[in-house]
Amino acid sequence: MKLLKQTFTLLLLIACASAVASAQTNQETTNAEDPAAVAAKQLTSRDPLLRQQAAEELARLEAADQRRLIEGYRLQEKNARVKLALDWALYRMGKTEALFAVVRALDSSRSTQANAYLITLDNPEPLYLFLERMNGNTQVKLLEVLAKIGNAETLERIKPYSASFDPKIAEAAQVAAREIEKRQGQTPPNNSTRQRQVEQNTAP
């Protein structure tokens, strides 16, 4: 009887150990298959390009559950391009103030990278505040972004810049307005059409 009880206890312990091992294996498999977890692991790579790509993938996934981890990596990151990618990831995860670093990068050697991020914004509205407060070169770059993602509201927002004393800003605003109008199918009338409209309006 005693031997039977010992045997039963041993079998029970083996079953419990097996269940724990199976659960750990399943958890590891789940983590390995989770794109966000896989991308986050790549942030430990020595290759800055891999770290940048990992941050961009986390931004695409909007993996908010990884935000604390990303904030930690951002604090210790030395590579400027990876920092920018991490800032973009943090913004996409809900840290709205991180967008400032991305916009500021438009006036740097990372302008192309920042532009590539900003043109994927769902809505141009977050950029309006920066358009009012940044330096001339950044304003030009922002207007180039708005040319690609702007809407009817954007046309009103950028109208004052079309009359800017800075020719680069004025030109960028005018180009942006034309691009937005073209995308919305609102091609402005040419001079002859305007003239006919004026004549019709002033006819007795």
For 114-123, the pLDDT digits (tens) are: 999 999 999 9
Ranges of residues in the chain with a pLDDT under 70 are 1-33, 186-204
Is the full-model pTM beyond 0.85? no
HSE on the CB side for 185, CA within 13 Å? 0
* SS3 (DSSP) at 45: coil
Place of tokens 């009338």: 189
* Spacing of C-alpha 13 from chain mean position: 51
Report the alpha-carbon distance of residue 5 to residue 2 in Å, rounded: 5
Q: What is the pLDDT of residue 179?
A: 94
Q: What is the pLDDT of residue 185?
A: 82
